[in-house]
């Protein structure tokens, strides 16, 4: 079975977006927007990478508008609680969803959702991109990804890997790695690094972990874990000493995760354009980029059409993986 390689922004993004982005009606009230606080809904708990990144954006937008942008954490169900809040909110610009890339494939993982990711949102802008990391405990004798792959092939099914949950992008990344590296690893899902995954990794109860830079980079920098590889095609600027999966024996491997802003479908186009424009402006500020750096996130904006194209690319990459591994969200 062959899986399509991911391309960051496809040349056909504009045509894909025509189908993905709902028609946006114009409103006379858009000229005075915002005239009251705006809520930024985040599907993950306070203190995590998504929450920390969203707070940087919310703080700066509050200064730019000026109206308070309030973070509303609606954690649970792999981000779907927040996604449903965002999808069913009034399309007036006062509810914005801050979501990572799993939103694009949520329908494939959770068939009973009450929203359609490609129809019930107006994509606004990309916020930032980040790789996932494959790490092992510093005490492990394994020194490279090549050695890790060799050990896994010698003991099929006995090498375990942790992720922050079934259906998460790190989980899907691990399944793609298994396919492309031709190894048999056993998945052990957790509810995040703080929910026992790091303790079990350091204690040797699991062999490795796929997770985000926001979750793992600090542990790599402190010497508690050894970063074997980053999942992006190019080395990550925030940790250039860590090689890529592609250069370490798995040619063509490339997974880029991202955060994006979404409004409810039918939000007036003028409001979507204002949010996009102001987001692009703040992401170019060196001070914002510096605040993203410890989180392992590279600031990156996009047009609504480009973000719609990214969602389609996620479906093309992960759809076959989800089907082949029979992955069901929890």
| Contact status, residue 227 vs residue 213, Cβ threshold 8 Å | no
Architecture of domain 132-248: 3-Layer(aba) Sandwich (3.40)
- Domains of the chain, residue spans: 13-130+258-325, 132-248
Parallel, antiparallel, or unpaired for β 159-163 and 257-264?
unpaired
Strand ordering across the sheet containing 132-137: 185-189, 159-163, 208-212, 132-137, 225-230
pLDDT of residue 20: 44
**Three-state DSSP class for residue 285:** coil
pLDDT of residue 215: 84
pLDDT of residue 32: 87
Q: Do domains 13-130+258-325 and 132-248 have the same CATH topology?
A: yes
CA dihedral 58, 306, 167, 93 (to 10 degrees): 40
pTM to 2 decimal places: 0.83
Element containing residue 125 per DSSP (H, E): strand 121-130
What letters, b where the CB count within 10 A reaches 16 and e where it falls short, cover 249-269? bbeebbbbbbbbbbbbbbbbb
CA atoms within 13 A on the CB side of 173: 28
Task: Identify the CATH assignment for 13-130+258-325 out of 3.40.640.10, 3.30.450.40, 3.40.190.10, 3.40.190.150.
Answer: 3.40.190.150
Query: How confident is the model over 172-229, as pLDDT tens digits?
Result: 999 999 999 999 999 999 876 767 899 999 999 999 999 988 889 889 999 999 999 9
pLDDT of residue 201: 96
Peptide bond into 66 cis (omega under 30): yes
pLDDT < 70 regions, the chain: 1-31, 192, 194
DSSP string, 188-225: EE-S-GGGTHHHHHHTTSSSEEEEEHHHHHHHHHTTSE
pLDDT of residue 31: 67
């Amino acid at each position: 079975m062959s899986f399509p390689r991911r391309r960051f922004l496809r040349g056909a993004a504009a045509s894909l977006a025509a189908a993905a982005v709902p028609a946006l009606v114009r409103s006379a009230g858009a000229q005075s927007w915002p005239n009251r606080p705006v809520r930024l809904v985040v599907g993950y708990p306070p203190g995590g990478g998504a929450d920390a990144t969203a707070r940087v954006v919310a703080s700066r937008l509050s200064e730019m508008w000026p109206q308070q942008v309030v973070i509303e954490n609606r954690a649970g169900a792999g981000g779907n609680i927040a996604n449903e809040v965002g999808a069913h909110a009034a399309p007036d610009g006062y509810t914005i969803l801050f979501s990572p890339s799993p939103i694009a494939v949520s329908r494939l993982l959770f068939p009973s959702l009450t929203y359609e990711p490609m129809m019930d949102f107006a994509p606004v802008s990309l916020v930032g991109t980040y790789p996932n990391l494959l790490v092992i405990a510093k005490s492990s004798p394994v020194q490279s990804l090549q050695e890790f792959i060799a050990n896994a092939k010698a003991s099929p099914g006995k090498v375990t890997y942790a992720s922050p949950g079934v259906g998460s992008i790190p989980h899907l990344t691990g399944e793609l790695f298994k396919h492309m590296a031709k190894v048999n690893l056993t998945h052990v899902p957790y509810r995040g690094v703080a929910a026992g995954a790091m303790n079990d990794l350091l204690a040797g109860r699991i062999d490795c972990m796929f997770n985000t830079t926001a979750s793992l980079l600090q542990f790599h920098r402190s010497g508690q874990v050894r970063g074997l590889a980053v999942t992006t095609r190019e080395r990550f600027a925030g940790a250039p000493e860590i090689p890529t999966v592609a250069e370490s024996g798995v040619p063509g491997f490339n997974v880029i995760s991202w955060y994006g802003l979404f409004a409810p479908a039918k939000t007036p186009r003028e409001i979507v354009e204002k949010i996009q424009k102001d987001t692009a402006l703040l992401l170019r500020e060196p001070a914002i980029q510096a605040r993203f750096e410890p989180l392992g996130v590279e600031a990156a904006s996009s047009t609504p059409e480009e973000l719609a194209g990214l969602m389609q690319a996620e479906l093309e990459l992960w759809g076959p993986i989800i089907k082949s591994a029979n992955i069901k969200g929890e």
